[in-house]
Chain A
Amino acid sequence: MADVGAAIWVTVCLATITTLCLLIIATPLAWWLSRGRSLVKDIITAIVALPIVLPPTVLGFYLLVAMGPQSPLMTLLHPFGIRTLNFSFAGLVIGSIVYSLPFAVQPIRNAFEHLGRRPFDVAATLRASPLDTFFSVALPMARKGFLTAALLVFTHTVGEFGVVLMIGGAIPGKTEVVSIRIWQMVEQLDWPNAHRLAGGLLVFAFTVLLSLLIIDRRLGSPQHD
């Protein structure tokens, strides 16, 4: 069971880092997408939503190629001694960011859109700079969206399987995550341990979803803050 500890650790690290990275990436993107509509924004919205629709095998395949040693992207990294990002923790983080992007952008964008124009008109009347308005009006008022995004991304990354299977290489302590470990246990007919780990994930996922609903009820809708 020692390797299970390593798998849990890798999974928690992966989900935490992915969540932090995605909050940073998704916030400006969601902000931009929430301000009006245009064809360019529709195109970007569609691209962001692709990972929901595409099979993980399609994402995994493209990532495997893009992070392989022959890819033009990787040749840029060759001078730094990086041949490929496949089979590396960094590669998994990149894969997870792509895979969970819509789960970060969508709730934050919704939260920004729900704010409407009024708070910004008020801020402008008070002569707040756009940056100041963003940090002291938009961010705090959209906190529910951020919390939802963080919880969804974290859980979704924990639940990742297909992409990791295709680019991970199952290196214990580095790229072997819990979902892969469960799959191996099932294949090895190690059902007692598979039950334990799968049960743990089930409880975890349920807890997160329940807390999402409770947060939703407690915080209410942002307009009534």
Chain B
Amino acid sequence: MTHALRHASREAYSKPSRLRRAVLAGIAAIALVFPALALAKDIQVAVAANFTEPAKDIAQAFEKKTGTHVIMTFGASGAFYSQIQQGAPFDVMLSADAERPFKLEDSGLGIKGTRFTYAYGKLVLWSANPALIDPAGKVLAQGNFQHLAIADPVSAPYGAAAVDYLRKRGLYDVLAPKIVKGASIAQAFSFIDTGSAEMGFVALSQIHKSHKGSRWVVPIRDYPAIEQQAILLHENPDARAYLAFLKSPAGLNIIKSYGYDVK
């Protein structure tokens, strides 16, 4: 392989004119495209994975109304939190908890007074198998399954809620060897959706609009509330307009349509 590399680099140096022409063409192409990119009104939003689908709907409605393009990145709240600490260029963070936006505000990385709760999430035990989960969620204690998928509890609030719930019912130690962790709630969902894990804890919003499989909505009183907060990270009128839209009746209606509670 090193031989091939050496050969390739020798090629490149021996034909300076061709290389130079290619580089110049590349620069010209970037120069033509870049102003167009820079002129478009864009905002960058970090979206907690559970909120993926409603965020897409909201972005579409917001773009239609204002012409501002919303660039979204989906992932675990904890991952975004550490990326933002390292200077990630997000204008807005839609977290799956209240703790991380609070810390961002507290440390000056988020803009003071812009933090608000946009949704209350619900935890669901879900299986792609229509017959597996009973209406009372007793299947967890029966343990006749090999894998229980959850989101990584350290970086994903829904994973933390699932662990809290299992501990409260005294099932955590028994089930720990069966727990498989997705990097975010989206990966936990795909583990279950493909049947690789027979069941697992996902966000209600991920399955609210489908009838696939069997499910049991965990009673809200059995785990700490999943209070999902948004915060502005960089002063930007378009980003402020986006947050205002999230709070508006149009935004709230989309959020409610995915099974979230709003207050």
Contacts and interface: CB of A to CB of B under 8 A. Distances in A.
B194 A68 contact: yes
B181 interface: yes
B118 interface: no
B245 to A, nearest CB: 30
Nearest to A102: B1
A38 interface: no
B152 interface: yes
B154 A69 contact: no
Contacts of A64: 194, 196
A87 B155 contact: no
B196 A86 contact: yes
B85 A83 contact: no
Contact of A187 (B154, B182, B195): B154
Nearest to B129: A69
B146 A70 contact: no
B196 A170 contact: no
Contact of B194 (A70, A174, A187): A70
Given A170-B180, A171-B179, A188-B154, A84 B78 contact: no
A189 B152 CA distance: 15
Interface residues of B, number: 25
Contacts of B81: 189
A187 B147 contact: no
Interface string A159-182: 000000100011100110000000
Interface in A57-86: 64-65, 67-70, 83-84, 86
A69 to B, nearest CB: 5
Contact of B149 (A83, A169, A186): A169
Contacts, number: 60
Interface of B: 1, 76, 78-79, 81-82, 85, 146-147, 149, 152, 154-155, 177, 179-183, 191, 194-198
Contacts of A187: 76, 78-79, 82, 152, 154-155
B180 A65 contact: no
B177 A186 contact: no
Contacts of B82: 186-189
A165 B183 contact: yes
A84 B149 CA distance: 14
A184 interface: yes
Nearest to A168: B180
Contact of B180 (A70, A83, A87, A186): A87
Contacts of A175: 180
